[in-house]
Amino acid sequence: MMRQYELVERVKRYNPRADEDLLNRAYVYAMKAHGSQKRASGDPYFSHPLEVAAILTELRVDDETIAAAMLHDTIEDTETTRTDIESRFGADIATLVEGLTKIKKLDLVSKKAAQAENLRKMLLAVAEDARVLLVKLADRLHNMRTLHYVPPDKRARIAEETLEIYAPLAGRIGMQEMREELEDICFHVLMPDAATMVMQRLDAFRSRSGPIIAFIENDLREKLAANGIQGDVKGREKRPYSIWRKMERKSVSFEQLPDILGFRVMVGNIPDCYRVLGIVHNAWPFVPGRFKDYISTPKQNDYRSIHTTVVGPKHQRVELQIRTQAMDEIAEYGIAAHALYKDQTVAERDAVLGKEARAYNWLRRTIETLAEGDNPEEFLEHTKLELFHDQVFCFTPKGLLITLPRGASPIDFAYAVHTDVGNHAVGCRINGRNAPLTSELRNGDEVEILTSEAQVPPPAWESLVVTGKARSSIRRATREAVRKQFAGLGRRIIERAFERMGKPQTEEKLASVVPRLARPSLEDVYAAVGRGELHSGDVVKAVFPDFKEETPKTAAGPNGAGWFGVQGADEVKFKVPGQEGAGGALPIRGLSDDLPVRFAPGGGPVPGERIVGILTSGEGITIYPIQSPSLSAFDEEPWRWLDVRWDVEEGERRRYPARLVVSVINEPGSLAEVARVMAETDANIDNIEMRAKTKDFREMLFDIEVWNIKHLTTIMTDLKAKPMIANVERVLG
């Protein structure tokens, strides 16, 4: 285990003005706090935070970060509190340590939800201070280096989490070396056979190629010297996981990979970078499609370099990265390479962040977007979407650069510009030409988004986008549209309920009783009534607590037709004319008028789905499913809407009519196959109509009888699974 003085010496090598007293106090305090605790390896637990601090010295971080690294597990694993840390080491270090502490005793339904909530907590702390992320990544790196001491089942879960979240997160903030080491460890844990295969192929490649790396390094140095350029050349093989990922992505064998060897050329200034590019392309053939200029267009994590692939000595394909020394430092250390972590105040750090650390600014914006998720699992999904993808660079017509994940569409582009642009997008032009919103964007595309105020993003867009921001915005817009629809319905139902009960209703009175209804706002009350979560009668009683509904009374219907009405009743069963033989009383609750009741013609509701009653003069009450398109005809007549619900007793066996349109391929046996599915799913066919849709397809209209909405859904699912059936849709009256 590292000694106290050894850690201080490590820090003083890059920071001669290091606060030795702070480092010594943190060392002693953490060692005493962890006491006799042991790790899975049997080593003293304090060896872990000490190794985390040692990793951070390689990144040359400031004294406070080193101290926080030594203290990062004290709140979580010892009796220490945040107050203890703050009183001894100050508010900044206490905030860092608290941001690294997992949430305990979570009342969540799954480990995935707990994982997501802890990630959310940590990333929100990162938004305030990026040093939290540096400590967390160093913590994860040391845990991965000692993962072989952990039980196999837990080992796989930790490796999967690291590969999905922490390795790409390290890459996104520019810490490529750390990302590659994390990926390689996970690769050996999660895919040991694949890792062994890649290592064997690398050994065979070395034996065939001999000292080719040294040969190409010397050749490059000679060419730079001959042209008067001073530079450093470093060569290496690609890392095993990087090789495997490229083999998987491109579906090629190891021998078909174009760039197993990579070389880095570091020069003094940017003009020399382009001079080196000219020298290399003049000496060796350039591989088309393998050139990227990240100096003129940096990545969002501040990465800057020129990438090119050439056919070098011995006909070996070689990938070259050309950059300055300063660019190389940022590529190796990421945001830790900036001066903001070296002897600066918080204000100075913020000033530098605004000018230099694009990676941190990107991270802050991303976290703010992710934090808008409605649940932990959604947050976790969006985080993975934001971290995983390579990037493409596109432009607005005004020249604004928009960076997106590879595979992004104009819909992602629209949401990257602004949420309102995405929500109202109706079309796009790519490089001046009209194109579908589902087109895949490529590097350098100029994208113009066409918008309309009347547009609302369709829910299907969610499956087409690849960015977390677009996906969360579409979900939010969809939820809001549905909520507005239910709120409008709920408002009409409540108005009708007050009118029916002869009570005055105002927005002010309703707003005053919102707390009693356990809803955050009046709009939420309307939406809850519209969804059937809250009964309109409960709203009336909240405004008028002394109000009592009339005692139910029965009344015979006209001509002995078998209808039953109840004045002022909450609960009543009606019979439908002509339905007596089909199962007796129709179970509908909430009707108060002595009127006949019927289902909507041409496709009525079935138990299990939300229903609405519409009062029709001279015809009684018609029951519609909530999603019926016919209801739009009554939007301006709220007095006709009735709050009704099913009252089906458990185990009751009664069939209800439903109508399906089935499109089938025009071939012998199609009707027999559809009828067979109906029989197997216990559907009763009442009527069939057929018509020619096209030469190759026939359309069949089935009137069937089902038990409930679950039964109907099963029938439709089984029909859709048959290869000769092109489409199945329900018809609603």
Cα dihedral value 77, 78, 84, 88, nearest 10: -90
**In contact, 540 and 547? CB cutoff 8 Å:** yes
Distance CA 62, CA 339 (A): 10
Element (H, E) at 380: helix 376-388
**In contact, 606 and 712? CB cutoff 8 Å:** yes
Neighbours of 639 (CB within 10 A): 12
Q: Is 618 left (phi over 0), alpha (psi -120 to 50) or beta?
A: left
Looking at the DSSP assignment, which residues form a beta bridge with residue 630? Answer: none
Distance CA 522, CA 526 (A): 6
> Between β-strands 697-706 and 725-731, what pairing exists: parallel, antiparallel or unpaired?
unpaired
Q: Give residue 455's identity as a one-letter amino acid code.
A: Q
Question: 3-class secondary structure for 585-609?
Answer: CECEECCCCCCCEEECCCCCCCCCC
**In contact, 43 and 36? CB cutoff 8 Å:** no
Active site (annotated) includes residue 6: no
Distance CA 364, CA 371 (A): 11
CB burial class (10 A; 0-12, 13-18, 19+) of residue 302? buried
Q: What secondary structure does DSSP assign to 177-233, as a single string?
A: HHHHHHHHHHHHHH-HHHHHHHHHHHHHHHHHH-SHHHHHHHHHHHHHHHTT--EEE
Tokens of 188: 């050996």
Looking at the DSSP assignment, which residues form a beta bridge with residue 687? Answer: 703
- Which DSSP letter does residue 321 get? E
**In contact, 573 and 585? CB cutoff 8 Å:** yes
User: Residue 216 half-sphere exposure, CB side, CA atoms within 13 Å?
Assistant: 28
Q: Mention every residue, 6+ apart, whose C-beta is less than 8 A from residue 599.
A: 576, 605, 622, 623, 656, 657, 733
Catalytic residue from among 77, 177, 446, 673: 77
Neighbours of 563 (CB within 10 A): 20
Distance CA 300, CA 311 (A): 30
Cα–Cα distance list, 256 to 4, 210, 244 (Å): 51, 19, 12
- Which DSSP letter does residue 104 get? P
Nearest CA to 33 out of 87, 93, 74, 84 is that of 74
> What 3-state DSSP class applies to 710?
helix
Q: Mention every residue, 6+ apart, whose C-beta is less than 8 A from residue 471.
A: 381, 382, 385, 462, 465
Catalytic residue from among 20, 43, 58, 76: 76
CB burial class (10 A; 0-12, 13-18, 19+) of residue 668? exposed
- Which DSSP letter does residue 447 get? E
Active site (annotated) includes residue 637: no
Distance CA 717, CA 436 (A): 30
Neighbours of 729 (CB within 10 A): 11
**Main-chain dihedrals φ then ψ at residue 17, nearest 5 degrees:** -95, 20
Distance CA 367, CA 100 (A): 16
> What 3-state DSSP class applies to 277?
helix
Nearest CA to 631 out of 593, 605, 659, 607 is that of 605
Q: Which residues are catalytic?
A: 76-77
